[in-house]
Structure 1
Amino acid sequence: MSTRADDLIDRRHLRRKLTFWRVAAIVIAAVGIVVASAWIYGGELGVTAANHIAKVKIEGTITEDDELLERLEKLRQSASVKGVILAIDSPGGTTAGGEAIFEAVRRLAAEKPVAAQVGTLAASAGYMVASASDHIVARQSSIVGSIGVLVQFPDITGLMDKLGIKLEEIKSSPLKAEPSPFNPTSEEERAMIRSMILDSYDWFVDLVEERRPLTKPEVMALADGSIFTGRQALERKLVDELGGENEAVGWMVKTKGVAADLKVVEWKAKGSGGLFLGSSLAQAVGQALGLPRAGADFMREIGADRLFLDGLVSLWHP
C-alpha cells in the first residue's frame, strides 16, 4: 500500500512539472513571437494602434537610406499618426541622400503636421532635411546652416613619385574619369566640377528660398557656407523657434489642432529593438568593450563613414 501511495505522489509531482514546463514553453513562444514581430515591423507593434505623435531620429551622415524612406512612407499612411517630429542631429552627407529624404518629408507634410527639432547639429544636407518640415525648432546653442555643396578628392601624385609608381591609362576622352587622384587636376577638369557644384548649389538655394520666409538675395547672403547658433539662426529666419521637443509639440497643438494629450512615440529603424536582435546586439558588445557606441553608430563616432561618400556632398565638418 505504501508503494502505491508513493507512486501516486510521484505521478502528481510529475504532472505538476509537466504542466509548469508546458506553460513556460507557451510563454516563451509568445514572447518570441512578440519580439520577432516588433523587430520585423520596426518596433511599431502595440504602439501605433493608439493615436500619437511620431518621432523619427535622423542622425549621423546622411546617405540614400531606403529603410528611412520606407519608415517615412509608413508614417504617412498610418491613421494613428497625428503629427511627426524629425529629431535631427547631422552634419549633412550626400546631396542625393538629402534630396531623397527632403522629398519624402514633403510628401509626409502634405498630409500631417511635421516639425523638425534640431539637436546639436543640422548643417548642409542636415539643414536641407530640416527645411522640408513646416516648423524648425533649435536649441540656443545648436549649430545650423552651412548651406552649400562641395566635392573633395585627394592628389597622391607626389606619393606615387616617391614610391616610383607610374599610372598608365587609355581613355575615350580627356575628361573621362576625371578628376583623378592619380593625375594632377587640369583647369578644364576644375571647370567641369565647378559647373556641376554650382548647379547643385543653385538647386539647394532655391529649396531654402521656397521653404523659408526669405527672399533670394537674403538666402544668397546666408548661403556662403556659414554656420550659426540656434539664436543666430532664429534672427536670420533659418529656424522658427528656440527650444526642443515640447516646443515642437506645442506648435502642432496651437496651430495644427493636434490633441494636447497625445504621447510622442519614437518610430525606430527595423532591427533596432531587442538585446539579441540587429544593431542592439552590436551595441551591447560595444558597451562591454567600453566603446561609445557599436556598429554603424561607432563608425559615425569616429567619422569613418565620411570616407565612403560618393557624388556631390553637402557636409559640414570642423
Structure 2
Amino acid sequence: MKKKIFIGLVLFIVVVYIIAYFSMRSSPKIAIIPVKGVISDYMNIIDNIERARRDHSIKAVVLAVDSPGGAVGASQEIYSALEKLRKDKPVVVSMGNVAASGGYYISVPANVIYANPGTITGSIGVIIQHVSVSQVLKKLGIKVENIKSGRNKDILYPNNDLTPQQKKLLEETIKDVYNQFLEDIVKYRPVDMHTLKQYADGRIMTGRQAVKLKLVDKLGNIQDAVLEAKKLAGLEGKPVMVIRLEREENLLKKMLGAKINISDILTYPQFYYLLSF
C-alpha cells in the first residue's frame, strides 16, 4: 500500500514538473542579452541574438549595453544581427555605465534606446594606432628589414615611420569607416547627417545630453527598458517571464581567471569604434 502511494506521488510530481516545464517554455518571455566590456569576441552575442530571434516564446529583447566599444568589424557584426532581429520582434537597449563609440553603435538599431542620466555615451568616431620604435632601434644599433610585396604592406609596422603619403592613406580609410558609422546612425536615429556631424567628433556625453541630441530616446534604467519591451510586444498587463541569455565562459577560462584587457586588444592593428582613455 505504501509502495503504491509512493509510486503515485512520484508520478504526480513528474506530471506536474512536465506540465510546468512545457508551460514555462511556451509562456511569453522578454530576453535580456548583456554586452559587457570591450567588443572583440562577438560570436556569443550573435548566438544569443539568433537564439532570441528563433525562439517564438521570446516576444522582445532588451540589449543591456555596458561597453566602451571595440573593433569595428565586431561592432558591425552585432549591428547587423540586431537589424535582422528587429524585423521579427522589438528590440530595446538599456545603457549602463558606459555605452560609447562601438557601444553606442550597436545600440543604434534598437526600436527604443534607454540611458541613465549619467551614462557615458557618444564618442562617435574611429581610431587606429601606429607606434614607431624606429629611433629606439637605431640607437640600439638594430636594423629590421621588412620583405614585402608592396610599399604599403608594412604600413603599421613599428620599425617604420609613416610617410606623408601613408598617413594620408590611413586618414582616407578612417574617414570611410567613420562615414559608415554616421550613415548607420541616421538610418535609425531621428537626426539628420548635417546635425550629427556637428557633435560626432569623438566627444563623450551623458545620457541626458544624448536625449537632447536625439541619439538616445528616453532616460531610464533596465526595468524601464523591460517595461518598454513588454509594451512594444503588446504584453502590457500580462504575465511575462524575463530571462537572461548569456553563455558562460568555458571551464578552462574560468579556472585561469582570464579576462579581456584593452591592452591585449590593441596589440595588433585594426580600426576601432572605441572610447579614448
TM-score normalised according to structure 2 size: 0.85
Could you tell me how far 1:313 is from its partner in structure 2?
Answer: 0.8
2:6 maps to what in 1? none
**Aligned-partner Cα distance in 1 for 2:231–2:25:** 23
| 1:101 pairs with 2:78 | yes
1:215 maps to what in 2? 192
Amino acid at match of 1:178: I
For structure 2, the residue ranges without an aligned partner over 5 or more in a row are 1-21
Task: Output aligned runs, 1:225-236, within 5 Å.
Answer: 225-236=202-213
After superposition, the Cα gap between the structure-2 partners of 1:79 and 1:233, relative to the gap in structure 1 and judged at 3 Å, is same
1:86 maps to what in 2? 63
After superposition, the Cα gap between the structure-2 partners of 1:309 and 1:219, relative to the gap in structure 1 and judged at 3 Å, is farther
Whether contact under 8 Å (2:123, 2:275) holds in the other structure is yes
Higher Cα radius of gyration:
1
After superposition, the Cα gap between the structure-2 partners of 1:307 and 1:206, relative to the gap in structure 1 and judged at 3 Å, is same
After superposition, the Cα gap between the structure-2 partners of 1:167 and 1:111, relative to the gap in structure 1 and judged at 3 Å, is same
| 1:267 pairs with 2:257 | no
**Aligned-partner Cα distance in 1 for 2:48–2:35:** 12
- Indicate the SS of the match to 2:125: coil
Task: Output aligned runs, 1:195-206, within 5 Å.
Answer: 195-206=172-183
Whether contact under 8 Å (1:94, 1:310) holds in the other structure is no
**Aligned-partner Cα distance in 2 for 1:173–1:76:** 45
Task: Count residues in correspondence.
Answer: 255
Could you tell me how far 1:168 is from its partner in structure 2?
Answer: 2.1
| 1:52 pairs with 2:15 | no
2:161 maps to what in 1? 184
For structure 1, the residue ranges without an aligned partner over 5 or more in a row are 1-44, 286-293
Could you tell me how far 1:235 is from its partner in structure 2?
Answer: 0.7
| 1:159 pairs with 2:136 | yes
Could you tell me how far 1:46 is from its partner in structure 2?
Answer: 10
Instruction: Give structure 1 regions of 4+ aligned residues with deviation exceeding 6 angstroms.
Output: none
2:148 maps to what in 1? 171
- Indicate the SS of the match to 1:137: strand
Could you tell me how far 1:69 is from its partner in structure 2?
Answer: 1.0
The Cα RMSD (Å) is 2.1
**Aligned-partner Cα distance in 1 for 2:230–2:125:** 34
| 1:311 pairs with 2:270 | yes
Could you tell me how far 1:163 is from its partner in structure 2?
Answer: 1.7
TM-score normalised according to structure 1 size: 0.75
Q: Which structure's relative contact order is higher, taking Cα pairs within 8 Å and 6+ residues apart?
A: 2
Deviations 1:79-125 (A, max 9, x none): 11011010001110011110000000111111111101000001111
- Indicate the SS of the match to 2:107: helix
Could you tell me how far 1:237 is from its partner in structure 2?
Answer: 0.7
| 1:119 pairs with 2:96 | yes
Among 258, 273, 276, the residue aligned to 1:295: 258
**Aligned-partner Cα distance in 2 for 1:46–1:304:** 47
1:246 maps to what in 2? 223
Could you tell me how far 1:180 is from its partner in structure 2?
Answer: 2.0
- Indicate the SS of the match to 2:88: coil
Could you tell me how far 1:271 is from its partner in structure 2?
Answer: 4.6
Deviations 1:257-304 (A, max 9, x none): 1344313211111457xxxx465x43xx7xxxxxxxx322xx34xx33
After superposition, the Cα gap between the structure-2 partners of 1:259 and 1:79, relative to the gap in structure 1 and judged at 3 Å, is farther
